[in-house]
Amino acid sequence: MTVAVLTIAVAAPPSPSSSPCFSSSSSLCSHRYICEGIIINLVVGHYHPKILKALTEQAEKLTLRSRAFYNDRFPPFAEHLTSMLGYDMVLPMNTGAEGVETALKLARKWGYEKKRIPKDEAIIVSCCGYFHGRTLAVISMSCDNEATRGFGPLLPGHLKVILVMQKALKEFLKWEILVASSNSLAKKKIGVLIDFILVIIPLNGYLKAVRDLCTRYNVLMIADEIQTGLARTGKMLACDWEEVRPDVVVRK
């Protein structure tokens, strides 16, 4: 009898043990860790000795502490991460979906307090065909009927753009015409533009065009780089390939 809730189809046998690069299953077969971490979680392998050592040493001191209390490990971590990526501040979360949710909250807060968008009129612009998580706010950006079926009503304030990547730049540039032709939309409605690049490679110039539009119309650009990871594309951030700096980066 299965008592655990299954949220995805189980495609691989269970993994009771593993080595740094392989996971051993009950059927005595091994598979590379890239197949097991839901794409992104186990990019350092299974119990990498350095990771295991750090976890063990920390577990002997303190496992978890509320942000209401000072933690002597967090300041050096935050300083290292922000200096490495060239950003001013960092807010660590527990999961990728929680990171995206927090980015949405930040965007709305920024829109209302900084851009002075009228109350409850902020809009999140996102692109179809991407995966950001399974929480209610996150699937409200999804165009996947299977991901949203049975969970309505979805959160309001989302504008989803269907983009075929081969035509991404051309399609996105239409937004410049749309925003320029609608004074209300340009000045009041659009509070944030989510450009989630994930693992689909956009046309050259696409990210730069997004950045230019966001700058021109005072729109917050947020890049979900969870699946592209840290230096996983050959540069520290995937946006670095076009020398684009999003206002906010969500990564894991």
- With 80 as the cut, is the pLDDT of residue 41 above it? no
pLDDT tens string 112-140: 999 888 898 888 888 777 777 788 888 88
Confidence of residue 47 (pLDDT cuts 50, 70, 90): low
Residue 166 has pLDDT above 90, yes or no: no
Lowest mean pLDDT among 47-61, 109-123, 177-191: 177-191
- Residue 244 scores a pLDDT above 50: yes
Residues 6 or more apart in contact with residue 142 via CB below 8 angstroms = 128, 131, 132, 148, 160
pLDDT interval class at 246 (50, 70, 90): very high
Predicted confidence (pLDDT) at residue 21 exceeds the cutoff of 60: no
Report percent pLDDT > 70 for the chain: 66
For each of the domains in the chain, give its residue range(s) and CATH number, in order of start. 17-59 (no CATH), 94-250 (3.40.640.10)
Residue 155's pLDDT is 86
The residue with tokens 């179809």 is 128
d(CA 234, CA 216): 29
Asked whether the predicted pLDDT for residue 251 surpasses 60, the reply is yes
Tell me what pLDDT residue 140 has: 84
**For range 162-170, the mean pLDDT:** 57
What mean pLDDT value characterizes the chain?
A: 74
pLDDT at residue 30, rounded to an integer? 45
- State residue 14's pLDDT score: 52
Distance in angstroms (rounded) separating the CA atoms of residues 107 and 104: 5
Question: What phi-psi label fits residue 121: left (phi over 0), alpha (psi between -120 and 50 degrees) or beta?
Answer: alpha
Do residues 122 and 157 touch, judged by C-beta distance below 8 A? Answer: yes
Strand order in the sheet with 190-194: 158-161, 123-127, 190-194, 220-224, 248-250
**74: enclosing H helix or E strand:** helix 74-85
Per-residue pLDDT reduced to its tens digit, 88-110: 999 988 888 899 899 999 999 99
Identify the pLDDT of residue 197: 47
Q: Is the pLDDT of residue 207 over 60?
A: yes
pLDDT of residue 78: 92
How far is it, in rounded angstroms, from Cα 246 to Cα 248?
5
